[in-house]
Amino acid sequence: MTIEPLLQEIERIYQAGRNGQEYDFQTEVVPFVAKADTLIADWQQNAQNSPYLRPAMVESAVDQLKQLSVQAFQPKTSLKRFNETIKSVRYIDQLMQ
């Protein structure tokens, strides 16, 4: 299982926000974060069974994913930091494959 579809959705939301899209907290942010938490939990279960990942790497990626799922709705988040976090999670996700 890969987390790439979630990462792509997070990037899409973030870019739309930087382009002026505004999000309603109750109708858009809360449901997305709930869906992301479910996907992240599933990914975490699979990642913990990977012989290529240490538990600390998995925990770090899970924390970063949870942060990204919220930060995506905050367009004032630093673009460089946002992109570096995405790269970090992608790297760990690719190690799992």
What's the predicted TM-score (pTM) here? 0.94
What's the CATH number where 92 sits?
1.20.120.440
Instruction: Indicate the number of domains in the chain.
Output: 1
- Domain of residue 75 covers 3-96
Tens-of-pLDDT digits for all 97 residues of the chain? 899 999 999 999 999 999 999 999 999 999 999 999 999 999 999 998 889 899 999 999 999 999 999 999 998 989 999 999 999 999 999 998 7
DSSP letter string, 31-97: HHHHHHHHHHHHHHHHHHT-TT--HHHHHHHHHHHHHHHHHTT-TTS-HHHHHHHHHHHHHHHHHH-
